[in-house]
Chains A and B, each alone.
Chain A
Amino acid sequence: MMNTITVKYFGEIAEATNCNEEQVATASNKLSDLIEELSKKHDLKGFSMIIALNQNLIELSDDITINNNDELAILPPFAGG
């Protein structure tokens, strides 16, 4: 079964993905796989980023699973002021 995930992007990462938000369908239920897919799709390698799953910051590891309708946020630190 496919999982549909809402992915939100911020800052420079949103510029690289060219959108603030998208719905992504994935066959995997592992978060690390999805991040890998997104990273390839949008060429996100080289960005310093943190990840939140359902509004909670998480440390990316192989054992984190995702479910249909989960919400992911991918963001970099900001420097300006």
Chain B
Amino acid sequence: MERYKRQINLPQVGIDGQQKLQKTKVLVIGAGGLGSAILPYLSASGIGTIGIIDGDRVEKSNLQRQVLFSEESIGESKVEIAASRLSALNSETNIKTYYEFLNPDNAISIIENYDVVVDATDTLSIRYLINDACILANKPFVYGSVYRFEGQVSVFNYKNGPTYRCLFKEKNTKVINCEEAGVLGTTVGIVGMLQANEVMKIILESGEVLSGKLLLYNTLNNNQNIIKFKREDSINVDKNFYNSEHLADQIIHINALEAFYSNSQLIDVREVGELPEMVSEKIIKMPLSLLDINIKKLSKDKSYAIFCQHGIRSLTATNFLKSNGFSNVKNIKDGASVIKNILENEKENSIY
């Protein structure tokens, strides 16, 4: 406790607060510019467990702002270097590293293990993923991002408070990141420090957490603005939403010929009576309108390729199966008429 004396002396911390820090698990997503600012302060404060996830290696152009790394780190995994630096700083902190990027498949299972999640990433789409995974896992999410000399900081999903989607409803992919826009290390450092400070407040239950408030900081003129926002009850992020929003992107589209000669079972989701009619042991008929009832007849261990007339209803069916735990489902882009031709060719060939 000797090393934490200066902060324990604060009435807002005390022995109790120090124990809270020691018991808390914080996940920092991204070990770049923001992560370099956030991580050492979290570790030095005596936070018990810190998880770091990043699939990148250190590059020369990172060193200007990612101060956790040195010239010898170039080419090394960011999480490994970060972990060794943090362990040297505070051997009492348990560091867990994930040498991978956060993705729709690993997000919830990683986030579940932590109490507070910190977004130190640099892409917009990943923020929606972090946000939605934090809602499902019921974790507060400390957001920070930078554009040139300006920063945005907020805390989402804190005690059922508003989320990132309540602030930025539209998913816009045109926004540029640090690499393209250019940024000073000090700007990223200030924003990271504001985030780390919110993490401390959440754990210590002190002060006013930036929940329902977006802090805008301009480092060129030192102006600060706060914008208040409310929880939007119309935005309902549940498991189905998560799957269709994040896992649907990963749907594999395949053409009929490829599907026919693969080891996948073909599923025809057209309604009864639609033409062309076809019968083959390769094809199961399961109209889209009855898919939810018939789903029990399918096995999650098998692989399936879904088709309809033009690949549109089959996409709905593919999404539906994916969100129900079927991992080996592909969507057939071209439809029934192509499959009919393949079947007829097969028949002709078998005559000889």
Pairwise interchain contact B124-A79, C-beta atoms closer than 8 A: yes
- B contact residues around A76 at 8 Å (CB): 147, 172, 175
User: CA of A8 to CA of B223 in the docked complex: distance in angstroms?
Assistant: 11
Residue-wise, chain A 21-65 has the 8 Å CB interface mask toward B (1 for contact) of 000000000000000000000000000101010011100000000
Nearest CB on B from A35, distance (A): 16
The interface size bin for chain B is: 35 or more
Pairwise interchain contact B188-A81, C-beta atoms closer than 8 A: yes
B59 at interface (Cβ–Cβ under 8 A)? no
Nearest CB on B from A17, distance (A): 14
Say which residue of B168, B218, B225 sits within 8 Å of A50 (CB atoms).
B168
Say which residue of B150, B152, B167, B228 sits within 8 Å of A55 (CB atoms).
B228
Pairwise interchain contact B145-A80, C-beta atoms closer than 8 A: yes
Closest to B168 in A: A77
Pairwise interchain contact A57-B218, C-beta atoms closer than 8 A: no
Nearest CB on B from A61, distance (A): 14
Pairwise interchain contact A55-B147, C-beta atoms closer than 8 A: no
Nearest CB on B from A2, distance (A): 25
Given contacts A20-B223, A79-B177, A81-B188, are A56 and B228 in contact (CB under 8 A)? yes
User: CA of A60 to CA of B68 in the docked complex: distance in angstroms?
Assistant: 43
B140 at interface (Cβ–Cβ under 8 A)? no
A75 at interface (Cβ–Cβ under 8 A)? yes
Pairwise interchain contact B172-A77, C-beta atoms closer than 8 A: yes
User: CA of A11 to CA of B225 in the docked complex: distance in angstroms?
Assistant: 13
B230 at interface (Cβ–Cβ under 8 A)? yes
Pairwise interchain contact A20-B34, C-beta atoms closer than 8 A: no
Residue-wise, chain B 175-202 has the 8 Å CB interface mask toward A (1 for contact) of 1111001010000100100000000000
- A contact residues around B170 at 8 Å (CB): 48
Nearest CB on A from B100, distance (A): 18
B347 at interface (Cβ–Cβ under 8 A)? no
Interface centre among A11, A75, A81 (most CB of B within 10 A): A81
- A contact residues around B147 at 8 Å (CB): 11-12, 76, 78-80
Pairwise interchain contact B216-A75, C-beta atoms closer than 8 A: yes
Beyond contacts A76-B147, A78-B146, A80-B183: 19 other A-B pairs, Cβ-Cβ < 8 A, are: A20-B221, A48-B174, A55-B227, A55-B228, A57-B214, A73-B216, A75-B216, A77-B124, A77-B175, A78-B150, A78-B152, A78-B175, A79-B123, A79-B147, A81-B30, A81-B34, A81-B144, A81-B146, A81-B191
- B: residues with CB less than 8 A from A are 30, 32-34, 119-124, 144-148, 150-152, 167-168, 170, 172, 174-178, 181, 183, 188, 191, 214, 216, 218, 221, 223, 225-230
Pick 14 A–B contacts, CB within 8 A, sort by A: A10-B216, A10-B218, A11-B147, A11-B150, A12-B175, A55-B225, A55-B227, A57-B229, A76-B172, A78-B152, A79-B123, A79-B147, A80-B145, A80-B178
